[in-house]
Amino acid sequence: MKKTVLAVIFGAMTTFVALTASAVEPAQSEKQAESAMKFRQATLQLIRSNVGALGAMAKDKIPMDAQTIEKNAMRIEQLSLMMDDYFSVDTRKFDLNTDALPVIWQDYTDFQSKINNLTQAAGDLKVAAQQNDGDAFKGKIGALLKSCKGCHDTYKAE
């Protein structure tokens, strides 16, 4: 009985922490909104810089290289873990120079699922590179690029 009660309490606490850790909060000032936007843009630029070589490999413009794939996939995975921190600040009420669409904060749960898809795709690609599974490289890179596109199609002004 005690174990069941403890399990229920632990489950409730875990759910509460998860929900509060990823709650959307409106920016309280233009300075806070600008800061969040700059961190978002910097994170996305770093992701873009690591996707470039992967895309070139997928298109056979440069040779597949397991070390580069692993390094870039690891970086993308780590950067994706930061995205929720910066996007959870709702900056809609401020006039910012950003391509982030307001719908991000209207359906933040879906946006978070897109971040999770990126994290998963990058992790899967990293594992394939660690295992030097050359047969899986193109498919895993494709999945990663698809996760980027899935988010951009809905949440980025182009």
Mean pLDDT score across all residues of the chain: 90
pLDDT tens by residue, 17-45: 343 355 899 999 999 999 999 999 999 99
Average pLDDT (69-77) is 98
pLDDT computed for residue 22 by the predictor: 58
pTM of the predicted structure, to 2 decimals? 0.84
- Domain covering 26-155 in this structure, CATH number: 1.20.120.10
For residue 14, the model assigns a pLDDT of: 41
Alpha-carbon gap, residue 31 to 36, rounded angstroms: 9
Q: Which residues pair with 90 in a beta bridge?
A: 26
**Which is more confidently placed, 15 or 121?**
121
Task: Tell me the pLDDT tens digit for each residue of 115-130.
Answer: 999 999 999 999 999 9
Contacts with 71 (C-beta within 8 Å, 6 or more apart), sequence order: none
- DSSP-derived secondary structure letter, 22: T
**Residues in Cβ contact with 138 at an 8 Å cutoff, skipping those fewer than 6 apart:** 58
Phi/psi at 90 (5° precision)? -80, 115
Q: How many Å apart are CA 34 and CA 36, to the nearest integer?
A: 6
- pLDDT, one tens digit per residue, over 5-14 is 444 444 444 4
